Amino acid sequence: MMKIGLTGGIASGKSTVSDWLRAHHYPLIDADRIAREVVASGEPGLSAIVSAFGQNIVLKNGTLNRQALGKLIFSDEKKRRQLNEILHPLIRERIKSRIKQFQDSGVRAVFLDIPLLFEGSLDQWTDKTIVVYVSKDNQLRRLMSRNHLTEQEALARIDSQMSLEEKRRRADEVIDNNGSVEETERQLQSILRHWNI
């Protein structure tokens, strides 16, 4: 089974590619969804986050206050590292379990949609990697618009990740997402044909 890492940067358009793959029934493991699962109410991940950062990051209904946590960690490198130390082992374990499920079911290829693929050295789990790329100007504009952030807030989030230029250099294939959705989908289809999947 071929394992294909799919990554990009915040607001680079990676979810456009994931959505297309999902809609066309390609097996896909979404690390962001898994990250939400491991901090759901009653999960050990949420308890560990509360122990580390306090009760104020939980909403009245008992779920994680993502906005409060985001403000806390995007402005503090030490707290971001602490959060990663809590969550990454839980997320990795669940990803490994899903890979095994797909392998056991006999699929030819599975996509691992992981925003921090290179940062977390998870590209070592893959046979091939695809990076969804946009210019920094487009990334900044899209993130400010999508998340209603100031330029400073958006830049802090972009700069907290490995640069898209560096990810582009490490990738087996790059999808340039500066154009239309149709152009992005055409590039993806071309890669799938080239890799015969």
Q: Which residues are annotated as a binding site for ATP?
A: 11-16
The one-letter amino acid code at 49 reads: I
How far apart, in whole angstroms, are the C-alpha atoms of residue 108 and residue 127? 12
Binding residues: 11-16
Residues 6+ apart with CB under 8 A from 124: none
HSE-CB at 183 with a 13 A cutoff on CA atoms is 11
Tell me the C-alpha to C-alpha distance, in Å, between residue 178 and each of 169, 190, 191, 196: 17, 17, 17, 26
